[in-house]
Amino acid sequence: MIASAETFRCKPDVLFQEVSGEIVLLDLVSERYFGLNSTGARVWQGLSEGRTTEEIISGLAKEFDVSGAQLDQDVNELLEELMQAGLIESA
C-alpha cells in the first residue's frame, strides 16, 4: 500500500499526450503504449506537474462525489499499477 505522503514523478522516458480528456503514454524503455481514462489522466497530470499524492487526492476530492477513503484507495491502486508498469518512480 502506498502512503499518501509519498511523492512520485513520471519517468523521463515516458512520453504522454492528452486525447479527449484521456491520456496515452508511450514508455520508450519497454516500447509499450498505455492508456489512462479521464480520472487516471487527472492523476497523471498531477504527477507531471510535480504534485504530491496528497495534493492529487485532495484535488480530485473537490471534483468528485466520492468518499475520501474510496478516493485514497483508487489513487493508490493506480499509483501501484503505474509503479509496476515502470511508468513512475519515487520522487
Residues interacting with other proteins, by CB under 8 A? 15, 17, 19-20, 22, 24, 26, 28, 31, 33, 35
42's grid cell: 487527472
Query: Given the DSSP bridges, would you call strands 14-19 and 32-36 parallel, antiparallel or unpaired?
Result: unpaired
Pick 8 or 16: Cβ nearer other proteins: 16
Pick 15 or 91: Cβ nearer other proteins: 15
Q: How far is the CB of 70 from other proteins (least distance, A)?
A: 23
Q: How far is the CB of 76 from other proteins (least distance, A)?
A: 21
User: Residue 14 to residues 26, 66, 87: CA-CA distances in angstroms?
Assistant: 6, 30, 6
Q: How far is the CB of 20 from other proteins (least distance, A)?
A: 7
Pick 31 or 65: Cβ nearer other proteins: 31
Report the C-alpha gap between 40 and 52 in whole angstroms. 15
Burial of 41 (0-12, 13-18, 19+ CB in 10 A): buried
